């Protein structure tokens, strides 16, 4: 049997991870597999037991609904529970232990690594799992202030205080401040979800607008930002970024990011 990694979740058929990792394995000529595996919540502990016993298993990505539950079943050597509070990648350490980590914060940050965000003002829409990873990343680069707009304002306030950040928690529909970075980290604007209605006019001309939603790829928010000629970052950039960090952990080699355009074309087919 070949070495392999996989993505687990329930449901799992929609996942783009097999296409991303499969593209990189082919591009690099690595004789390994990456597959999707449906694992129910009841089967999660048994799944990790089977991974421990399988020498070909290189690791897994974890998606809904297992990102928190996995924290109790694998070792947390990097303090993920206290920081992001969820695991999206599990690998095997040299001593054989299964270690949980999270590549969403790094994946979010990689497309905007060239921005100087120190002391700047960011607006984040949403206060769920993606927003938590994003706030962690923003806290690490010394963001000055974060305004969170969320349906549940108390949840947004708790998220801000858990990172000891300066900022405000406001209800959805509040006017935007003149922020340097606007990130949609909610489900709003995603296929099948309500739309995100924002007036972008308070944003300065050099603001960056980032939507983590990738289905559709061109959300209404990004179309509005494009119409204002603001710099934009779409959700596939974060998706590919978090996968790249996981790929290196699984297979010990960086994926060929110079082929992102080809990969993106494959993912939007
Ligand atoms: P989550 O933990 O379930 O959080 C969902 C967020 O959306 C919460 O802020 C929630 O508000 C808000 N929301 C849900 N339904 C709403 C509604 N009807 N009206 C207003 N607000 C609503 O989900 P998540 O894991 O953070 O994912 C959020 C989005 O990020 C999804 O679209 C997901 O696909 C995307 N994502 C993308 C990447 C990537 O790599 N590009 C990675 C992770 C996630 P309340 O707090 O008030 O409930």
Above 90 in pLDDT, residue 39? yes
Q: How far is the CA of 90 from the centre of ligand 1 (A)?
A: 22
What number is the average pLDDT over the span 8-21?
96
The per-residue pLDDT for range 121-176, each reduced to its tens digit, is 999 999 999 999 999 999 999 999 999 999 999 999 999 999 999 999 999 999 99
Structural domains of the chain, ranges and CATH numbers in brackets: 4-102+239-267 (3.40.50.10860), 106-233 (3.40.50.720)
> Whose C-alpha lies nearest to ligand 1, atom 15?
187
Query: In angstroms, what is the span from residue 193 Cα to ligand 1's centroid?
Result: 10
C-alpha 65 to ligand 1 mean position (Å): 13
Q: Give the ligand 1 atom nearest the CA of 212.
A: 41
Contacts for 215-220 with beta carbons within 8 Å, 24 or more apart?
215/190, 215/191, 216/191, 217/268, 219/184, 219/189, 219/190, 220/189, 220/195, 220/196
What pLDDT digit, counting tens, does each position of 244-257 carry? 999 999 999 999 99
Note whether 90 and 100 are within 8 A (CB): yes
Predicted local confidence at residue 269, as pLDDT? 81
Q: Mean pLDDT across the stretch 38-47?
A: 98
Atom of ligand 1 nearest to the CA of 107: 40
Percent of the chain beyond pLDDT 90? 99
Percent of the chain with pLDDT over 70: 100
Average pLDDT on 180-194 reads: 96
Predicted confidence (pLDDT) at residue 27 exceeds the cutoff of 90: yes
pLDDT in tens, 189-239: 999 999 999 999 999 999 999 999 999 999 999 999 999 999 999 999 999
Pocket of ligand 1 (CB under 6 A): 104, 107, 126-131, 150-152, 155, 172, 185-188, 190, 194, 212-214, 235, 238-239, 242
């Amino acid at each position: 049997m070949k070495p392999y990694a996989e993505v687990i979740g329930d449901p799992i058929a929609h996942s783009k991870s097999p296409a991303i990792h499969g593209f990189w394995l082919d591009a690099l000529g690595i004789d390994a597999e990456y597959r999707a595996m449906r694992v129910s919540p009841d089967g999660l502990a048994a799944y990790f037991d089977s991974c421990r016993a399988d020498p070909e298993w290189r690791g897994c990505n974890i998606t809904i609904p297992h990102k928190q539950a996995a924290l109790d079943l694998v070792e947390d050597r990097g303090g993920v529970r206290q920081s992001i509070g969820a695991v999206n990648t599990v690998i095997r350490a040299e001593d054989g232990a299964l270690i949980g980590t999270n590549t969403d914060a790094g994946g979010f940050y990689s497309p905007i690594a060239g921005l100087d965000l120190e002391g700047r003002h960011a607006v984040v829409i949403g206060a769920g799992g993606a927003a938590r990873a994003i706030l962690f990343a923003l806290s690490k680069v010394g963001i000055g202030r974060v305004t969170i707009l969320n349906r549940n304002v108390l949840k947004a306030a708790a998220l801000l205080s858990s990172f000891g950040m300066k900022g405000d928690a406001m209800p959805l529909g509040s006017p935007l401040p003149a922020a340097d970075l606007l990130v949609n980290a909610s489900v709003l604007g995603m296929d099948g979800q309500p739309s995100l209605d924002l007036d972008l006019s308070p944003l300065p001309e050099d603001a960056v607008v980032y939507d983590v939603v990738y289905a559709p790829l061109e959300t209404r928010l990004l179309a509005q930002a494009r119409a204002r000629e603001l710099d934009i970052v779409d959700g596939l950039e974060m998706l590919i970024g978090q996968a790249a960090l996981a790929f290196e952990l699984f297979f010990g080699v960086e994926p060929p990011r110079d082929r992102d355009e080809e990969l993106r074309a494959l993912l939007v087919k």
